[in-house]
Chain A
Amino acid sequence: MSTPDFVATTNACKLCRPLGAAIAFRGIEGCVPFLHGSQGCATYMRRYIISHFNEPIDIASSSLGEKNAIYGGGPNLKLGLKNVTAKYHPQLIGVATTCLTETIGDDVPMLLAEYERETSLAERPLLVHVATPSYAGSHMEGFHGAVRAVIEQLAGPGVDNGTINLLGGFVSAADLRYLHRLCLDFGLSATLLPDYGDTLDGPALDDYPLIPRGGTPLSAIRAMGGARATVELGATLPEKSGGTVLRDSHGVPLHRLGLPIGIRASDALMELFAQLSGRPLPERLAAARGRLVDSLVDGHKYLFGRRALIYGEEDLVVGLTSFLAEIGIAPVLCASGGKSGKLAEAIGAVLADLPCAPPEVREDVDFHDIETLAEELGCQLVVGHSKGYALARRLHVPLVRVGFPIHDRLGGQRILHLGYEGAQGLFDTVVNTLIEWSQDSSPIGYSYM
């Protein structure tokens, strides 16, 4: 087994907390993500995010220097807010802290309140803040934390407006567009938060956008307290989340489901949407489901029992494991750098009605541990983001790229994971990857499957 007593991390399977917050803030209309910390954090995260989305992402920084670290970052924070307002004319600035400002003890809510007193409403945007110390939790805590902060700080009580709140989690831009379409199909009026489906996958333009078009409208966020239900996706969500805040503060009923990856998880979401909308499964979706089942039959032989390693964010790992197991793949290792404490239970739940052997489930592991374990367990397929490429290459096993980041291929933001259509794409990719692998390693080179 790997070395659990090791304190060093080698090739982490997680990112830092402010990155998740920055992406979530990018999914709000008119919002500029702002990191309170040293300049490098914002630049590194921009570079990391750009390499996946191939899209601009301007993340502002308070660019703290040595003096600020000693005497406090307040003045730089305020100057930064002023400059971002002057240049970007945002409706909202989402301020996330960093390990530096958390450690020097800057009281960001107090500083923002001061800034609000010092400036007039006409000359400043709305401000939202979230604490994202990188030494506690991963980018997923940052992402969920930012969603919750936006709701806590912006959503009003609101009158019953007949909409639903849809908190889609950290999924791809294509997934977010799909969720929109799904709501339309069911005739549901929904507030999807966050929504970077357009802001991080936009068209070619004549002008560089100050802030890319799209994102969850602020007016919709304000009205979230008046929705008739919240649907929150993710199987390892924190106890306190955007959904629980809406439930506990505004009485909005909360439905939590795992990410709708694969048939069963998608069925669960469709059933919920059918129930919330009072409509049956729309024709288009029924047809997509039918085609998906048909293709599973066509391809089942080529993947049955193939041993898979699945890694990434815990919510995604649960969704992928559920899907891969239901099509006949044998998950042998489900791993994440996150440590929600819920991964094993969530994996157990999605595999409960399937005849597959329980996989090893590991939280809080790095790629060194993952590789060691995968080698011991033996695997024939790797499913995860592109940072597992080195491992897949060494193990001489094909990698199916999903999730974030995908730095060595184009179009990571356009990978659809969710719903029947997402499952169809994933299924075709997985089965064809395995077929290609055996075709390429065959001395004959069969021209039929």
Chain B
Amino acid sequence: MNSQALLSERTRQIHRKGATPLDLDCNKDSLAGAVSQRACVFCGSRVVLYPIADALHLVHGPIGCAVYTWDIRGALSSGPELHRLSFSTDLQELDVIFGGEKKLEKALLELIARHSPKAAFVYSTCIVGIIGDDLAAVCRKVAEKTGIPVLPVQSEGFKGNKRAGYEAACSAMAQLVGTGDISGISPHSINIVGDFNLAGEIWLIRDYFAELGIEVVANITGDGRVDDIRRCHGAALNVVQCSGATMDLARIMQERYGTPFLRVSYFGVEDMAEALYAVARHFGDEDMLEKARQLVKRELAGLLPQLARYRRALAGKKAAIYVGGAFKAFSLVKAFRLLGMSVVLVGSQTGTREDYLELERICDPGTIIVDDSNPLELASFLKEKEVDLFVGGVKERPIAYKLGVAFCDHNHERKQMLAGFAGMENFAREVHDSVMSPVWRFVPRRHKEVRP
């Protein structure tokens, strides 16, 4: 790669499959001045808890943290939409000097009175960690006064990266778990953990599980409800997607209630089918397994001819992936293979060593694997590998577009359902419509090719 784009401290976070055995540095603090694509602890907590639609989400801090996360995810709700509002204590200079606890208490009381939420999450931000407001004490006091759970989320931005935020979110949720009535829950019951109902995906997944005769106790957290989370310890199994974000909750529940968990992914045909089979196998129910087979068979019968059509156009095209959590990347690598495309670059903001080993295992030789990358690196990889399509989030989009590379948003702002079998068709269509657009012929990197 262009040496200009790479700082020496970053070389150990970049690997090319085939050159040497994988020995990637990861899960470390972002390098100052490197323009990381990562956000902060607060961001991690906020995105995980955000879809809980009947809770009040109050950001205790100056205004920025709240405004930049207002209505940020396409996490849909089938009922209340309190999660789509942005609440802040909007700390001012005097609050910083004299402490923000009084303001926080008043803000909570007035917002709880106005909106009657089922619970309140109170997010700590950088500055609250510094001025030393006792968030937990204020939350306890307000919970006593209002009679609803008021949960502190210890998400001071500087305390680590997004992953630490996931942990803080899970600890906050863990305080709710176990406080609800679990009578009448089926032995064939699960919690859908780690799906955020972007574009309504969790509804589709719930339909699949319903067809298998499985009761879903709680969505955690897509289209989430406080009362469901309170009784989710009654479920027989946690089915965990997006393992980075919600794995801690599954572990806590395993320790506390003995609830086993399965790691699954709903993206791509193979992983979606395997998710259903794995759950059916877990319950050891042959009838359920047969229903899963029938479901997969039926869905594939509709889907595969469609995919074949897209595959004809897309075969041989090159894709790059840079996402928040590595787990999504596994499914995307497989999904691109199904479309006849090769993945030449794959990376994540918060992958672990195990994640990167798995990525190396499933990728083709020569594939670049990168941890906690940045715009200059990503741009240089896109150019070097002559990528046709880049999959990422909003912050990656202008990197691709500026270079005239097609782009698909596979992050939380998308409006398109990408999970499940229907989602795979949507994904294939979006990839196709992006790669096959006639506009690329005008961009500088292609311009030379079409000119006589």
Contacts and interface: CB of A to CB of B under 8 A. Distances in A.
B161 interface: yes
A65 B88 contact: no
Interface stretch (B61-69, B214-222, B259-267): B61-69
Interface stretch (A73-81, A180-188, A213-221): A73-81
Given A65-B29, A86-B7, A135-B95, 10 more contacts: A6-B110, A9-B89, A12-B86, A16-B62, A38-B158, A50-B395, A88-B376, A103-B126, A204-B401, A204-B404
A66 interface: yes
Contacts of B383: 207-208
Interface stretch (A55-63, A238-246, A438-446): A55-63
B251 to A, nearest CB: 23
A16 B108 CA distance: 22
A82 B160 CA distance: 22
B407 to A, nearest CB: 11
Most buried by B among A43, A136, A210, A390: A43
A205 B444 contact: yes
B67 A61 contact: no
Interface stretch (B32-40, B289-297, B424-432): B32-40
Interface of A: 3, 6-12, 14-19, 34, 37-48, 50-51, 54-66, 68-69, 76-77, 79-84, 86-88, 98-100, 103-104, 133-136, 138, 202, 204-210, 387, 390
A40 B35 contact: no
Given A12-B63, A64-B158, A135-B95, A44 B43 contact: yes
Residue of A3, A63, A79, A81 with highest tally of chain B CB at under 10 A: A63
B142 to A, nearest CB: 12
B87 interface: yes
A346 to B, nearest CB: 23
Nearest to A76: B32
B354 interface: no
Contacts of B96: 99, 103, 135
Interface stretch (B127-135, B202-210, B223-231): B127-135
A84 B62 CA distance: 27
B70 interface: yes
Interface residues of B, number: 78
19 contacts: A6-B110, A8-B89, A10-B87, A11-B86, A12-B86, A39-B36, A43-B39, A46-B395, A50-B394, A56-B398, A58-B375, A63-B33, A88-B376, A99-B61, A133-B93, A135-B62, A136-B92, A208-B399, A208-B403
Given A6-B110, A99-B62, A208-B399, A63 B36 contact: yes
B303 interface: no
A3 B107 CA distance: 12
B93 A135 contact: yes
Nearest to A202: B402
A365 B403 CA distance: 41
A61 B33 contact: yes
Contacts of B395: 43, 46-47, 50
Nearest to B96: A135
A8 B88 contact: yes
A87 B68 contact: no
B43 to A, nearest CB: 5
A136 B383 CA distance: 43
B397 to A, nearest CB: 7
B106 interface: yes
B127 A99 contact: yes
B130 A104 contact: yes
A314 to B, nearest CB: 16
B68 A69 contact: no
Interface string B1-14: 00011010100000
A239 to B, nearest CB: 18
Given A40-B39, A58-B375, A135-B93, A100 B126 contact: yes
Contact of B43 (A17, A40, A64, A103): A40
A83 B93 contact: no
Nearest to B103: A7
A387 B85 CA distance: 11
Contacts of B125: 99
B29 A9 contact: no
Contacts of A61: 30, 32-33, 35-36
Given A8-B110, A79-B33, A103 B130 contact: yes
A129 to B, nearest CB: 15
A30 B368 CA distance: 31
A415 to B, nearest CB: 19
B129 A40 contact: no
A64 to B, nearest CB: 5
A74 B340 CA distance: 50
A99 B130 CA distance: 10
A404 B422 CA distance: 36
Interface in B410-433: none
B36 A43 contact: yes
B158 A9 contact: no
A15 B402 contact: no
A373 B171 CA distance: 40
B30 A63 contact: yes
**5 tightest CB-CB pairs across the interface, nearest first?**
A40-B40, A16-B64, A83-B33, A208-B379, A80-B33
Contacts of B36: 39, 43, 61, 63
B445 interface: yes
Given A9-B87, A40-B40, A69-B130, A87 B5 contact: yes
B136 interface: no
A48 B442 CA distance: 28
B358 to A, nearest CB: 26
Residue from B63, B65, B107 whose CB has the most chain A CB atoms within 10 Å: B63
Contact of B33 (A19, A87, A209): A87
Interface in B29-54: 29-43
B380 interface: yes
Nearest to B40: A40
Contact of A206 (B39, B64, B444): B444
